Amino acid sequence: TPDITSICKDASAGIKNIKDAIRTRKCCPPSLGKTIKDYVIPAETTLKKRWPAHKGTPKQIDDYIRAIQAMKDLPQDDPRSFLNQAKIHCAYCNGSYNQDGTDISLQIHNSWLFFPFHRWYVYFYERILGKLINVPDFALPFWKWDEPDGMPIPEIFLPKDVNGKVNPLYDEFRDANSVKDRIVDLDFGGKDKDRPAKQQIYCNLNTVYRDLVRNGGDTLSFFGGEYVAGVIPPDKTPSAGSVEAGSHTAVHRWVGDDKQPNDEDMGNFYSAGYDPIFYVHHANVDRMWKLWKDLRLPGHVEPTDRDWLDASYVFYDENQELVRVYNRDCVDINKLSYKYIENSKEVFPWRKSRP
Ligand code: C2O
């Protein structure tokens, strides 16, 4: 990633209906005149415990809603504002940046950059939210779509108003709004299958097993293909890893509104970050990396190539500092001071769901 505040152009790649685009294509971050520093991971005393979005305590839910509201209330030109956080995804995915030192456009999807980039993105997003409401152990929810009770879109995202106020978790450009209690389709390809709930649950568990075990048996099939500086797709187009191509993309498409010109919000890279559910979906995608690792099957190891370890991204942190972060520093989430709350016995329903 180059210096994102000086080398950046309007987004256009991957937006099929540019003329009617609902969200802006001006996705460059504000420039505060800061120079990029290598990020030093703070030595934390508090562990952030990410919680399943369908099972939040009143305090967890209240903090989360207040934090999102606070983010929406920031001046728009603050790099931590809701708008600027959404634009990060657009800029990194729809052609705003070039690979550092080249004129080749940078794309962090469909390759082995997918997991680490989104891990860092959600990491800073969570820290910003915690800082805004002054809760040092603030942790995001995750949309636990790998467990039957967690498969519908979490209820906290659905009501348009709560107590006469607009729900900051609500997004009007979302096809899933009308589907309280409906089970997500983790293999959604654009058409509703109208399966009975029980059958859809069973299919979803098969899909999780497919993404984590059957199709993700070695480093590159799980992470995605090698993507190194200077290589121009499509000469050597890398491939998406099993989770990225599978359940991850299916959820984007299922939530996005296909009646909008570009399937906004969740159905297109440039607009996905405008839906608060995006970060909660990606927390679970990030958790998939952890679960895959914890299976400890042969082949379940992160890439060790220098090209992967040294790849880096630039973000604004919660203090509006411009920082560069590396893949190698995000491999161990203990070092990043967060964890995922799991069921006490860590029994995963999909483990017995070999398709
Ligand atoms: Cu950057 Cu879920 O995509």
Sign of the CA dihedral running 29, 32, 38, 39: negative
Q: What is the pTM of this model?
A: 0.96
Res. 352 pLDDT band, cuts 50 70 90: confident
C-alpha pair distances (Å), 172 with each of 140, 159, 164, 183? 22, 11, 17, 20
Express each pLDDT in 36-85 by its tens digit. 999 999 988 899 999 999 999 999 999 999 999 999 999 999 999 999 99
Please state, in angstroms and rounded to a whole number, the distance separating the CA atoms of residues 183 and 153. 8
Whether ligand 1 lies within 6 angstroms of the CB of 109 is answered as yes
Please state, in angstroms and rounded to a whole number, the distance separating the CA atoms of residues 119 and 50. 13
C-alpha pair distances (Å), 198 with each of 183, 184, 190, 194? 9, 12, 21, 11
Q: Lowest mean pLDDT: which of 97-106, 112-121, 322-331?
A: 97-106
**Chain position carrying tokens 């890893």:** 241
Please state, in angstroms and rounded to a whole number, the distance separating the CA atoms of residues 63 and 50. 13
Express each pLDDT in 218-235 by its tens digit. 999 999 999 988 877 666
The residues pairing with 141 across neighbouring beta strands, listed in sequence order, are: 51
Half-sphere exposure of 27 (CA within 13 A, CB side): 28
Compare 289 and 13 and report the one with higher pLDDT. 289
ipTM comes to: 0.99
Report the pLDDT averaged over residues 320-334.
98
Whether ligand 1 lies within 6 angstroms of the CB of 25 is answered as no
Express each pLDDT in 258-269 by its tens digit. 999 999 999 999
Q: Which of 114, 188, 252, 348 is catalytic?
A: 252
Q: Separation of 163 CA from ligand 1 center, angstroms?
A: 32
- Mean pLDDT, rounded, of the chain: 93
Q: Separation of 253 CA from ligand 1 center, angstroms?
A: 11
Q: Which of 115, 124, 138, 248 is catalytic?
A: 248
Q: Separation of 269 CA from ligand 1 center, angstroms?
A: 7
Whether ligand 1 lies within 6 angstroms of the CB of 248 is answered as yes
- Which atom of ligand 1 lies closest to the CA of 248? 2
Q: Lowest mean pLDDT: which of 23-37, 94-108, 295-309?
A: 94-108
Report the pLDDT averaged over residues 207-219.
97
Q: Lowest mean pLDDT: which of 133-147, 158-172, 274-288?
A: 158-172
User: DSSP character for 48?
Assistant: E
The answer to whether 117 and 108 have CB atoms below 8 angstroms apart is yes
**Residue closest to 314 by CA, chosen among 10, 33, 37:** 37
Please state, in angstroms and rounded to a whole number, the distance separating the CA atoms of residues 253 and 257. 8
Whether ligand 1 lies within 6 angstroms of the CB of 54 is answered as no
**Chain position carrying tokens 């939530």:** 255
- For position 178, what pLDDT does the model report? 62
In the residue annotation, 281 being an active-site residue is answered as no
**235 preceded by cis ω (within 30°)?**
no
The answer to whether 184 and 205 have CB atoms below 8 angstroms apart is no
Res. 348 pLDDT band, cuts 50 70 90: confident
Q: Is pLDDT at 100 greater than 90 in this prediction?
A: no
Domains of the chain (ranges, CATH numbers): 37-352 (1.10.1280.10)
Please state, in angstroms and rounded to a whole number, the distance separating the CA atoms of residues 231 and 67. 40
- For position 129, what pLDDT does the model report? 98
C-alpha pair distances (Å), 49 with each of 45, 116, 280, 333, 341? 13, 19, 13, 11, 6
- For position 217, what pLDDT does the model report? 97
| Binding-site entries for Cu cation | 89, 109, 118, 248, 252, 282
Whether ligand 1 lies within 6 angstroms of the CB of 119 is answered as no
What is the crossing angle of helices 82-93 and 58-73, to 10°?
A: 80
Q: Is pLDDT at 177 greater than 80 in this prediction?
A: no
- Which atom of ligand 1 lies closest to the CA of 282? 2
SS3 131: helix
- Which atom of ligand 1 lies closest to the CA of 252? 2
Residue nearest atom 3 in ligand 1 by C-alpha distance:
269
Burial class (CB in 10 A: 0-12, 13-18, 19+), 199: exposed
Please state, in angstroms and rounded to a whole number, the distance separating the CA atoms of residues 145 and 350. 11
**Chain position carrying tokens 């000086």:** 6
In the residue annotation, 300 being an active-site residue is answered as no
- For position 235, what pLDDT does the model report? 63
Q: Separation of 268 CA from ligand 1 center, angstroms?
A: 9
Q: Is pLDDT at 101 greater than 70 in this prediction?
A: yes
> Hey, what amino acid is at 254?
W
Please state, in angstroms and rounded to a whole number, the distance separating the CA atoms of residues 209 and 218. 14
Compare 163 and 278 and report the one with higher pLDDT. 278
**79 preceded by cis ω (within 30°)?**
no
Sign of the CA dihedral running 252, 72, 68, 3: positive
